A and B are shown apart, each in its own frame.
Chain A
Amino acid sequence: MQYVDVRETPFEPWQYLAAWQAQQLPENAHSGATAVFVGTMRDFNEGDDVMGMYLEHYPGMTERQLATLVAEAAQRWSLDAALVVHRVGEILPAQPIVLVAVWSAHRAAAFEACRHLMETLKHTAPFWKRETLSNGTVRWVDRNTPG
């Protein structure tokens, strides 16, 4: 089971995860490992206080690219299931931006696939952050943090 959700409304990652697992993975006893990453908006960046953020994306290509990444990871690590949820639009500090979860038979595959999905997402999925600083300045984020 592979699932991608690009959404304009806030979500609570643990509720989302529990609901998705209950609905989509009723018989996942085969999976010995679940690895989860949640990315949350910081209230600072590059040494400045950040009040809010707008996440632009490329409708259509975003979903397509995320589905490709998930399918590739599922095959490479023989995952039982994989889930990517990503916000777009107006986001406030402390709100979740991204949820990546993978299920596999063993922990090494789960950890590696989750990390790989998150890193490749950050470098290839067409999202762009525009942040508003506490002094009113609006600027595009031009690069990812190294890790």
Chain B
Amino acid sequence: MPIKVLFFASLRERIGQSQRLLETDAPLTLQEIWQRSSGEAHLPDNVLMAVNQTYVDANSLVQPGDEVAFFPPVTGG
């Protein structure tokens, strides 16, 4: 089961893609997912992360089949 990776808003424009599938049989760290999917070495401090549509911190492990999202600080309301 691949890990589905999503990028939103200004981050999507910076990375140049909105969605990517990462093939993996083992859990991955968010840092690994960021590097593989964005091509950028370091996960910026201000990037927010969600796994399966719930906020997580950068130390969380992501399982095959999960949906991961990276996005900039939110500005609704």
Residues of A within 8 A of B (CB): 39, 55-58, 60-61, 64-65, 86, 97-98, 118, 121-130, 140-144
Contact = CB atoms under 8 A, between A and B. Distances in A.
A118 B76 CA distance: 10
B16 to A, nearest CB: 15
Contact of A64 (B48, B53, B74): B53
A144 B72 CA distance: 12
Given A97-B77, A124-B74, A129-B75, 11 more contacts: A56-B9, A58-B69, A86-B77, A123-B74, A124-B55, A125-B76, A127-B76, A128-B10, A128-B71, A129-B76, A140-B9
B34 interface: no
B77 A58 contact: no
Contacts of A127: 74-77
B53 A60 contact: yes
Contacts of B73: 142-143
Contact of B71 (A58, A86, A122, A141): A58
Interface string B31-61: 0000000000000000010100111000000
